[in-house]
Amino acid sequence: MSSYGGKKARNISIFFIISLIIFMSGIGAAPRFAYADSAGIPPANIVDLTVVNVGSSSVQLTWSAVGADGYVEPATAYDMRVAQYDFTMGAWNSLTRVTGTPMPGQPGIQESFALTGLTPSTMYYIAVRGVDSFGTLSAAYNIVSATTTSAGPAIVTNVLFSPRLESIMVPSGKSFTISLYNAGTATIAATFTATADVNGRVALPAVISLPAGMYDILVSSPRYLRKKIFGYNVSSHANIVLPIQPVGDLNNDNIINSLDWSAMSVKWFLNDANADVNGDGIVNSIDWSFLSKNWFQTGD
């Protein structure tokens, strides 16, 4: 047993010594070949810079990667310049250098970069050159131009409507249908039905993407004539006070006439939510007085 154990110990120590020799001699380590970038050889020219997409504040670009020497070994960096005029080589150093350009990949691969922070509806001229470890730039380049798109109107948020009803404060939970027409047209940009909050206000639902701009706004609510305001400039955080809706259209046909009186008269002296115009719990001459006052009025 002891001789076996001694043989094992000897084998382990021989293995350890051989490993140490291999380690110290560098045999077995990954070979490393440092590429000697030549100062005299610039990165190849980048002449395939291409605009692939244009937004209101960004331009998406692609080009083929160049190397530190021509197309050999990845370059050190890219030097991209942007101007609002068609520039010449002599102007290069005076142009704004774009930050955030990608680390050069293997020569020949396609690089992709989004130039951001641009002004809408503006023409830009862009070029890119490879840079080697000596700071030598590609000798030549192509210039691309792109005009950013217009910004477009912002989508409004936190818009409130304050409907107004003849004879009563707007009660919490009262239902309103509000339609926003593109101003001066019959085109509805948005329409929704929602109930009033405890302050009698109706919020534009967050799911509606309404661009800021001019709208004609139609409001309707059961028993009240529809009312429209024209040319309202809707923006975020607006609180839009709507016109007073006359009461008495019990059958919701947007006119107050004998049909509404018929609907009221059959509820005379009763507690009927629809015919009780002023909400005092009884249908009587007070409710009739509202119909009488608004007789033959029509809504918008």
Residues contributing to the site for Ca ion (CB under 5 A): 37-38, 41, 68-69, 132, 249, 251, 253, 260, 276, 278, 280, 287
Q: What is the dihedral of CA 170, 173, 176, 180, to 10 degrees?
A: 100
> Closest approach of Cβ 252 to Ca ion, in Å?
7
DSSP 184: T
Nearer to Ca ion, 60 or 228 (CB): 228
Beta bridge partner(s), residue 202: 161
Q: Which residues contact 227 (CB under 8 A, 6 or more apart)?
A: 218, 219, 242, 243, 244, 245, 299, 300
Least CB distance to Ca ion at residue 81 (A): 20
CB-nearer residue toward Ca ion: 79 or 276:
276
Among residues 136 and 148, whose Cβ is nearest to Ca ion?
A: 136
H or E stretch including 232?
strand 223-234
CB-based burial label for 64 (10 Å; 0-12, 13-18, 19+): middle
**In contact, 133 and 73? CB cutoff 8 Å:** no
| Residue with Cβ nearer Ca ion (36 or 123) | 36
Nearer to Ca ion, 177 or 278 (CB): 278
The DSSP element (H or E) to which 24 belongs, if any, is helix 2-25
The residue (of 111 and 249) whose beta carbon lies closer to Ca ion is 249
Nearer to Ca ion, 142 or 251 (CB): 251
Shortest Cβ 281–Ca ion spacing (Å): 7
Rounded distance, CA 228 to CA 219, Å? 6
CB of 33 to Ca ion, least distance (A): 17
CB of 185 to Ca ion, least distance (A): 27
Q: Looking at beta carbons, which residue is closest to Ca ion? A: 132
Residues ≥6 apart with Cβ < 8 Å to 26: none
Consecutive H or E run containing 292: helix 285-293
Q: How far apart are CA 285 and CA 219, in angstroms?
A: 28
Q: Distance (Å, rounded) from C-alpha 300 to C-alpha 298? A: 7
Beta carbon of residue 298, minimum distance to Ca ion (angstroms, whole number): 9
Name the minimum Å distance from CB 37 to Ca ion. Answer: 5
Hey, is 253 helix, strand or coil? coil
Distances (CA, A) of 108 to 119, 126, 211, 264, 297: 32, 20, 44, 83, 77
* Cβ-based nearer residue to Ca ion, 176 or 181: 176
CB of 107 to Ca ion, least distance (A): 12
